[in-house]
A = this chain, B = another copy of it.
């Protein structure tokens, strides 16, 4: 059973207006909240990642969810389930990585339990004060599609690790210690006066684009020649590689004058819901999705 189908079941049982975006927006409390898990041998292998890097990445992927909403990341809780063979050095290094990634975001709780593999689940809370919050269903015809940073570096790095190849440090770092795009998010959320759509590229750039297009009932058109990427990384990896934790947003053109360090890669059109990549239409991209270590 696919994750997408299971999420449909959850939505129908809960009959909740909240399930859909990566963060839930809770206006009565002035916060957004998200939760994301990393599972050994599904999302990471201990052969490739140090405890420090694992703590770092676990925190960053959760901060990235908050950034995708436009809220200001404030607090984190971390639940760790650890096999018996894990020692105190692992725990110390994990939390040192977590603390470095958190920066001024405070780690305020969580729990520790036993398990047979390493499971990490973190919940992140952001403040919506002074920020306009995104929704993936808020892309509108005429909006520009913009991205932060380079795309595909993380998947390229992972591929090198999986094939025991030597890769330049920047690719390995992109995969093992990604950076949440806090400044890109802040600029948009502080300056936006109209609704906008924003997601992180945890499941790949093309996936984020099609999620926004389908949720907003619009066509997202992109020109791959515009997407910033390393010359070593092929365009398939740029589009479908996951875990860059860059941001992609569909915003009104008038907002652009308030932003810096962004790249326009396409625009939103009022046409059949889906994604147009270099003129070719896709109503879904499931087959191309990035699948970690899953069979």
Binding site for B on A (CB under 8 A): 1, 3, 5-7, 9-10, 13-14, 16, 18-19, 21-24, 26, 28-31, 33-37, 39, 41-43, 74-75, 77-79, 81, 86-88, 91-92, 95-96, 98-99, 106-117, 119, 121, 123, 125, 127, 294
Contact = CB atoms under 8 A, between A and B. Distances in A.
Given A75-B26, A87-B1, A123-B33, A13 B99 contact: yes
A214 to B, nearest CB: 19
Nearest to A18: B108
A39 B119 CA distance: 10
Contacts of A39: 81, 113-115, 119
How many protomers of this protein does the assembly include? 2
Contact of A119 (B18, B78, B81): B81
Contact of A33 (B9, B86, B108): B108
Nearest to A294: B114
A27 to B, nearest CB: 12
A20 B123 CA distance: 17
Contacts of A92: 9, 13
B117 A115 contact: yes
Contacts of A127: 28-29
B116 A77 contact: no
B88 A121 contact: no
25 contacts: A1-B87, A3-B112, A9-B95, A10-B91, A13-B92, A13-B95, A13-B99, A14-B107, A16-B107, A18-B109, A24-B108, A28-B127, A29-B75, A29-B125, A29-B127, A33-B125, A35-B109, A35-B111, A39-B115, A42-B114, A79-B121, A81-B119, A115-B119, A117-B117, A125-B125
A39 B78 CA distance: 15
A6 B36 contact: no
A117 B116 contact: yes
